[in-house]
Amino acid sequence: MEQKSVVLQTKTIQTNKRLKRVKEYKQQIPLFIMVIPCMILTFIFCYYPLSGWIMAFQNFRPAKGYWHSKFVGFDQFTFMFNDPVFWRTFKNTIGMSIMNLVFGFVFAIGFALLLNEIRSIGFKRVVQTASYLPHFLSWVIVCSLISNILSTYDGTLNNLLMGLGLIDKPVLWLGEQKYFWWIVAFSHVWKEVGWNSIIYIAAMSSIDTELYEACEIDGGNRYRKMWHVTLPGIRPTIVVLLIMNLGWLLNAGFEVQYLFGRGLVMDVSETIDIYVLKYGITLGNYSLGTAAGIFKSVISIALVSISNYISGKLDENSVF
């Protein structure tokens, strides 16, 4: 009798959980309906175009279409992996992406921490607004500004350094290979630091204020509060954003490298995207461009999956 009673109680609990879950789903039906248009657009513009991946395994000719182009298997991948130009662009892409990722995270988190410490709400809003406005500027405009600042002819940076006596003559910043990656990295930081800090500031606003009070009672100053309360409080946000940004590691950018990467800095400026444009689309070899795109996608999926798995094992914070 006791065993039957236990079984009956277990079934009752499971039934109640199932009914509760069904009730929650019914309450969220309006949200599901709102998501449907987004799912349709995502399918049309993100998943349906994946059918074009078949071009990577063909000697694709637009006039013949998918089904009448010659199938060549992995020839495009073989050519690409044996091409020294591709591996040079791969090295450039990885190098600039890592710099963008590291400096982007460090400056965005640091800026959010400092902004969070401002007591004047009005001044804080002005600074935050001014910081994320560059995000809405076109890269063409940003590159034009940077070009004027770094110009050897009356450029702001050269004039400043010469006025301070740090250099004797103007430096050709955009013509030296050793400076190019740094210019790209800090261009991204300047443009995106304010925008990237928004989500960290939002995460900081949800931290329990009692934790700051406890830290203050224990003798902690502002820096201690940031280190022992604020940073641990936004750690899950940092981990999730890091995992998601690792998926974009092979997207170092296109506009900056294309606009600045001429002449003397060509060898360090070309990325995989420029390789696709230059050796794929411009020369009409769409199959090679598609193969490079598939390579980027596979690497990105692998990076996200591996980092998400490691994060879930070590920190229990993961995307999925």
Total domain count, the chain:
1
**Nearest by Cα to 100 from 177, 182, 175:** 182
Per-residue pLDDT of the chain (320 residues; tens, 9 = 90+): 555 565 566 667 777 778 778 888 888 888 888 989 999 999 998 888 888 888 889 888 877 877 778 888 899 999 999 999 999 999 999 999 999 999 999 999 999 988 888 888 888 888 888 888 899 999 999 999 999 999 888 888 989 989 888 888 888 888 888 999 999 999 999 999 988 898 898 888 888 888 888 888 878 788 888 888 888 888 888 888 888 888 888 888 888 898 888 778 888 999 999 999 988 888 888 899 899 989 998 998 898 888 888 877 776 566 56
C-alpha distances out from residue 8 to 19, 128, 130, Å: 16, 59, 63
Point out which residues pair with 71 in neighbouring strands: 58
Q: Name residue, tokens 């013949």.
A: 64
Examine residue 144 and state whether it is found in any structural domain, yes or no: yes
What predicted TM-score, i.e. pTM, was given to this entire model?
A: 0.82
The DSSP secondary-structure symbol of 249 reads T
Which residues 6+ apart lie within 8 Å of 172 measured at CB?
Answer: 152
Residue 99 has a pLDDT of 93
Q: Name residue, tokens 């301070």.
A: 164
Are 256 and 67 contacting, i.e. CB atoms less than 8 angstroms apart?
no
Examine residue 66 and state whether it is found in any structural domain, yes or no: no
Beta-sheet strands, E only, within 146-240: none
Examine residue 31 and state whether it is found in any structural domain, yes or no: no
Point out which residues pair with 58 in neighbouring strands: 71
How many CA atoms are closer than 13 Å to the CA of 190, on its beta-carbon side?
Answer: 12
Separation CA 251–CA 244 (nearest Å): 12
Phi-psi region for residue 154, left (φ > 0), alpha (ψ -120 to 50) or beta? left
User: What is the extent of the structural domain holding 117?
Assistant: 74-314
Examine residue 286 and state whether it is found in any structural domain, yes or no: yes
Examine residue 1 and state whether it is found in any structural domain, yes or no: no
Q: Please list the alpha-helical segments (H only) found in 247-285.
A: 255-260, 266-269, 272-275
Examine residue 61 and state whether it is found in any structural domain, yes or no: no
Q: What is the CATH number of the domain that holds 269?
A: 1.10.3720.10
Give SS3 for 58. Answer: strand
Separation CA 69–CA 54 (nearest Å): 10
Residue 316 has a pLDDT of 59
Residue 94 has a pLDDT of 93
Are 97 and 189 contacting, i.e. CB atoms less than 8 angstroms apart?
no
Segment (H or E) for 203? helix 177-205
Separation CA 109–CA 103 (nearest Å): 10
Written as one string, the DSSP assignment of 108-138 is HHHHHHHHHT---HHHHHHHHHHHHGGGGS-
Examine residue 143 and state whether it is found in any structural domain, yes or no: yes
Residue 8 has a pLDDT of 61
Examine residue 164 and state whether it is found in any structural domain, yes or no: yes
